[in-house]
Homo-oligomer: A and B are copies of this chain.
Amino acid sequence: MSPPVKLIGFFGSPYAHRAEAALCLKGVPYELMLEDLFNAKSELLLKLNPIHKKVPVLIHGDRAISESLVIAEYVDETFEGPPLLPSDPYDRAMARFWAHFIENKFIKPFFMAHWLEEGEVREAFVKEAKELLPLLEEQLKGKRFFGGDAPGYLDIAASMLAPTRMAVQEVTGVALINDDDYPALSQWAREYISNEALKPCMPDKDQLLAYFMKNKEMYKAGVKAMLQK
């Protein structure tokens, strides 16, 4: 029998959501341990992820695993249930390629465009995000999910464009992803947040909205600080 699964997460973290989504899609029961990152990080988090000191951390028996996409692959390889990655090596490579694209090329300009104040710097990020968005839109061509008929690894990697993005969009008033410009991405996000298998781990819409509304200034200050680094 598999040892119990626990997840150190944080409400509002799209990275923690990725790990939860992987567990949900595989049908793995888990105990969610929520951090209070605005106060002190827990000793457990610091002990289990001493390098990055970040959520999510998956605890499986005496094993601890960090990094959301590493967790997703671990969950896929360890537990029964529908596969998260495609079975063909080339399709797997494409899923990993696009996950890498989202992680290393897309996220920064996209969210900078949402949180930065008006100005030249923001405009440059908006321009960059708009150049990249069609590439993601294209990946959904003729498909309900990036993974095909059901959400998979790449949907997990992209998931911050669903619940998180929708809440951030409402709070900031920036709507880069909209039905006119990116109908496939818009429809995908609606499918993602209402997917039956993902329901147990989908953050409550109103609660997520309240979270970003409350912490708006912190996020704005955060992106500014990132630019000065």
Contacts and interface: CB of A to CB of B under 8 A. Distances in A.
Contacts of A77: 89, 92
Contact of A97 (B67, B104, B105): B67
Interface string A63-81: 1011100110110011000
Contacts of A63: 90
A51 interface: yes
A100 B93 CA distance: 16
Interface of A: 51-52, 60, 63, 65-67, 70-71, 73-74, 77-78, 89-90, 92-94, 96-97, 100-101, 104-105, 135
B51 A65 contact: no
Contacts of A65: 90, 93-94, 97
Contacts of A97: 65-67, 70
Contacts of A135: 51
Nearest to A65: B93
24 contacts: A51-B101, A51-B105, A52-B105, A60-B90, A63-B90, A65-B90, A65-B93, A65-B97, A66-B97, A67-B97, A67-B100, A70-B96, A70-B100, A71-B93, A73-B92, A73-B93, A73-B96, A74-B89, A74-B90, A74-B92, A74-B93, A78-B89, A78-B90, A104-B104
Contacts of A51: 101, 105, 135
Return the 9 tightest CB-CB contacts between A and B, nearest first. Answer: A77-B89, A74-B93, A78-B89, A70-B96, A65-B93, A63-B90, A70-B97, A70-B93, A74-B89
A34 to B, nearest CB: 23
Give the residue among A63, A89, A101 with the most B Cβ atoms within 10 A: A89
A83 to B, nearest CB: 13
Contacts of A71: 93
A95 to B, nearest CB: 9
A73 to B, nearest CB: 7
Contacts of A89: 74, 77-78
A89 B80 CA distance: 13
A77 B92 CA distance: 9
